[in-house]
Structure 1
Amino acid sequence: MIDTGEHHAAMLLLMGLVSLLAVPMRAAFARISMPSMIGFIVLGVSLSIGSNITGVASDTLNEQVPFLAKIGIVVLLFRIGLESDLDKLRQQLGRAALIWLPNMVLGATTAFALVMVWPGLGLIPALFTGVAASATSIGVSAGIWEATGALDSDTGALLLDAAELDDVSAVVLLSVLFAVGPLLKQPEGAAILAPALKAGAIQLLLTALFSMNCYLFSRWLEKPLSDGFAKLAPKHGPIVLATGAAFVIAAMAEVMGLSMAIGALFAGLAFSRDPAERSIDEAFGILLTVFGPFFFVAIGLSVDLTVLVEGIGLAAALAGMALLGKLLGAGLPATAMLGWRQGALIGFSMVPRAEIFLLVMLYGLTLGPWAVPQVLYNAAVLASIATCIIGPAIVGMMLRPLAGNTT
């Protein structure tokens, strides 16, 4: 029997309202050249305040929004993988890796060092923050490159290739953190090092096996299955196959003890070789418009305003380290290859931290204050917003005079 009680009515109402807000909010933020995620995070904070004051829909916000957020992150990371061009990446893998490796390492170590020396935090929060900060949200900057016609340039292609490597390494580190994180709570100190290293090694092995299976699926099964679904339903068959496979592969990753994030990203990579990728991408754009906002709403719901002011100084420092880490890690190697202007463009384009950064910090928050204290989480959310404003703003100023001439 279908339950039609008030609990489900509140969830449907929330889904409807957020979906209706998504399009005008994206348009409004695009007009001022800011990412719409800021608006959805603020919406989550507002819903939390309203629920705490009125007591209305607290169950829906605490139980249903996290589930909808998981759907959103699966769709989001699948689309990131889907839009990757592995053939182009292979062509200049060496150049991209020369940017990716220092970019990932310095992005992580600068954040790790800051949290390590910050009063009241320590090793484990620093580890979570470092893993989170290794990621880059290139989609925040890529829209500006595309709008100015620079994304199709050699520099734009190199930027995307380095960012693709960044995405893969970040979700792999996230997967390892899923296995090692709970062990770090143990009070044995150094005695926990060996089990943690063993768990991390096992997780890396599982990740390698999982990625190999995804490659085999992409190489031998995806095309025949897609053709078969296209014969059964020419218009929607491949889209339905991709949608179902995205959730199945993400679920398999979760069951194996990996994160669903790595499953969703690898599923997208598996379908990126399909000639029907464009229609699949358009369909997932619609799903992302509907479900993507719930991830950022969930981020906002987890912000505690009672300790927000305490984290402002830490947020400013985190944003500064985020800026420094990417400018040194990505900007300097790119400058050595392309010159200072193109190097600065790539460095500032890598500054934004959004999806994976926030996902890691939210995961740590759910484990408890020993992993990510509330003050650190609040600071991370503020720093994320700051990086998603500062980086694209500078990129926009640098690209506008070079529109159509970036090489």
Structure 2
Amino acid sequence: MIFGQLMELDGFSWVSNFTLWGSTPLLLTVPEAEANSALVLAGVLLSLVVIYFASKVGGEISNRFGLPPVLGELVGGVIVGVSALHLLVFPEGGADATSSLIMNFLQTTAGLAPEEVAPTFAAQSEVISVLAELGVVILLFEIGLESNLKELMAVGIQAAVVACVGVAVPFGAGTAGLMIWFGVPAVPAIFAGAALTATSIGITSKVLSELGTLNSREGQIILGAAVIDDVLGIIVLAVVASLAKTGEVDVGNVIYLIISATGFLLGAILLGNVFNKTFVTVVDRLKTRGELVIPAFIFAFVMSYLAAAIHLEAILGAFAAGLVLDETDKRKELQKQVVPIADMLVPIFFVTVGAKTDLGVLNPAVPSNREGLIIAIFLIAVAIVGKVVTGAAVFGQPGINRLAIGVGMIPRGEVGLVFAGVGSASGVLSKPLEAAIIMMVILTTFLAPPLLRFVFPPTTAVGGEPETPV
């Protein structure tokens, strides 16, 4: 997850210059227009109204058609976002303050001054982005609580094989195809191939949870593989980013990421055997409100910070924290207390992902999109086939639904957008190739939920035993 941050002092951007007072140079500070703090809050509140309305309406409609509600939340985000209504737009997507209907509404109804519009828009967008990131952290913590560490470890080898195949096949096929058939230079082709390796653990795990198949054998393999895929994706991103920047791979950084990722995940698993009893002892001594959920979130956020501090994803830390606390006697009670918090924050993430999705890149009437559309068709085919074949890599599991495992690895979601964003910032991607990658991310993200619904009968684990939806 990547945030653009604007560092300011007391709300001002400061410009320094010198002038002469007699013969003495003086340092003057000239404050530029700053955000209206009261209307930043108003903008955030209006954005949340839009987000919750879109998520609820979209989720309910999706549910009526027998599809996972998360698909409705994504579609709701697209409708209120940059592709349609412009109620929820973000600067990193290329939108400016004048295209935000919320900013226009604040100007009309709340007296937002014209010079305050841009900084207020930037501040409000940053707050929503942070809330979205917090939402996916909470989601992965909740998924960790719902998972079974012992079952996850039991399919660990299969999950690792699935993850490695799911990285190697689309990366190799995508890179080679772009170079051979489309004449794309090596470095951009490698970058596009790397974008094909990602798997959105947030989207996949949410759909599995809604279908009640998270704890099936297939669900555990998908979840384990998605976690490993995320780690491998970070390492691949570090490699291609350094290649794009310098033309050389920083071997030291790659080795560091491999060691830190392995050490973090193994350390979290070992910590579970020691920490869970201590956690229960501490919680039993607390008597005030939030005596269970507050310590749990403290632990989850500390783990998320540690993951981010060693250049991994914060969501991996949250997931690991959930796995650790899943082993405690307080698991079921904690799950119940986390659900309403997740219900408030997780929709922000999914609607925001949809809102940032610009379907304009799919318009063939725009001449600059046509080359990208042809490349996108190739990338989408590789993205889908390259993940579906991962199911064939599962061994020692007779009667398992290999197609479901492959389909569960398809969505790229926010992880794929990170690859596209880094590639765009580095200047290594041409406009058609960048548009093609974004189209691949969009299609795989939106195709995965209904496909998972198709290959996973709801409320019944594939192994044949009924499973209660979480």
Which among 342, 359, 369 is matched to residue 288 of structure 1? Answer: 342
Aligned match of 1:261 in 315, 322, 346? 315
The yes-or-no answer on 1:168 pairing with 2:227 is yes
Matches within 5 A, 1:203-218: 203-218=257-272
| 1:328-378 CA distance string (max 9 Å, x none) | 221x34598535x83334444x25415564464465367444369641443
Which residue matches 2:77?
Answer: 41
CA distance in 2, matches of 1:9, 1:136: 29
The one-letter code of the counterpart of 1:383 is: L
Q: 1:308 to 1:83 in 2, by over 3 A?
A: same
The amino acid across from 1:64 in the alignment is V
User: Of the candidates 51, 55, 64, which is equivalent to residue 22 of structure 1?
Assistant: 55
Which string of whole-angstrom CA distances, capped at 9 and with x for unpartnered residues, describes residues 116-174 of structure 1?
A: 5556572342243133159695436535753xxxx49xxx7320221132122122124
Structure 1 stretch displaced more, 7-16 or 119-128? 119-128
Equivalent AA in structure 2 for residue 323 of structure 1: I
2:428 corresponds to: 370
Which is worse superposed, 57-66 or 25-34? 57-66
Deviation at 1:69, TM superposition (A): 1.9
Map 1:54-93 → 2, pairs under 5 A: 56-57=102-103, 58-60=121-123, 62-93=125-156
SS at match of 1:36: helix
Mapped to 2, the partners of 1:316 and 1:347 lie a distance apart of: 19
**Normalization by structure 2: what TM-score?**
0.69
Q: How does 1:212-231 map to 2 (within 5 A)?
A: 212-231=266-285
Matching of residue 106 in structure 1 with residue 169 in structure 2: yes
Task: Answer yes or no: is the 8 Å Cα contact 2:166–2:197 preserved in 1.
Answer: no
Instruction: Mark the runs of 5 or more structure 2 residues left unpaired by the alignment.
Output: 1-9, 12-35, 90-94, 104-120, 364-368, 466-470
CA shift at 1:386, angstroms?
4.0
TM-superposed deviation, 1:291: 1.8
Within-5 A mapping of 1:4-403: 5-32=38-65, 33-34=67-68, 35-42=71-78, 43-45=80-82, 46=85, 47-48=88-89, 52-53=98-99, 56-57=102-103, 58-60=121-123, 62-94=125-157, 99=162, 101-114=164-177, 118=182, 122-133=188-199, 137-139=203-205, 142=208, 146=212, 151=213, 157-177=216-236, 179-180=238-239, 182-187=241-246, 189=247, 192-193=248-249, 196-233=250-287, 236-304=290-358, 306-309=360-363, 310=369, 311-330=372-391, 332-333=392-393, 337-338=397-398, 342-348=401-407, 350-355=408-413, 357-358=415-416, 360-361=418-419, 364=422, 367-370=425-428, 374-395=434-455, 399=457
CA distance in 2 between counterparts of 1:403 and 1:292 reads: 25
Q: Which residue number in structure 1 is paired with residue 15 of structure 2?
A: none
SS in 2 for 1:290: helix
Counterparts of 1:114 and 1:230 in 2: how far apart (Å)? 59
Alignment RMSD (CA, Å): 3.8
Deviations 1:82-112 (A, max 9, x none): 2221212334545555555434543554455
Tell me: CA distance 1:181–1:295, structure 2 relative to 1, closer, same or farther (3 Å): farther
Q: Which moved more, 1:365-374 or 1:312-321?
A: 365-374
Distance 1:220 1:355, change over 3 A: farther
2:159, 2:122 → 1: CA distance?
46
Quick one: which amino acid aligns to residue 81 of structure 2? G
Q: CA deviation at 1:249?
A: 1.6
Letter paired with 2:218: L
Instruction: Give the Cα separation in 1 of the matches to 2:310 and 2:56.
Output: 36
Of 49-58 and 294-303, deviating more is 49-58
CA distance, structure 1, for counterparts of residue 47 and residue 202 of structure 2: 30
User: Measured at CA, do residues 367 and 220 of structure 1 come closer, stay the same or move farther in structure 2, by a change above 3 Å?
Assistant: farther
Contact 1:140 1:392 in 2 (8 A): no
Amino acid at match of 2:153: R
1: CA distance, partners of 2:194 / 2:464: 37
Name the amino acid aligned to 2:272: S
* 8 Å CA contact 1:41, 1:299 repeated in 2: yes
Which is helix-richer, 1 or 2? 1
8 Å contact from structure 1 (residues 140, 388) kept in 2: no
Letter aligned with residue 224 of structure 2: L
Instruction: Give 1:182 shift.
Output: 4.1
Shift in Å at residue 260 of structure 1? 1.5
| Identity percentage of aligned residues | 20
Alignment size in residue pairs: 389
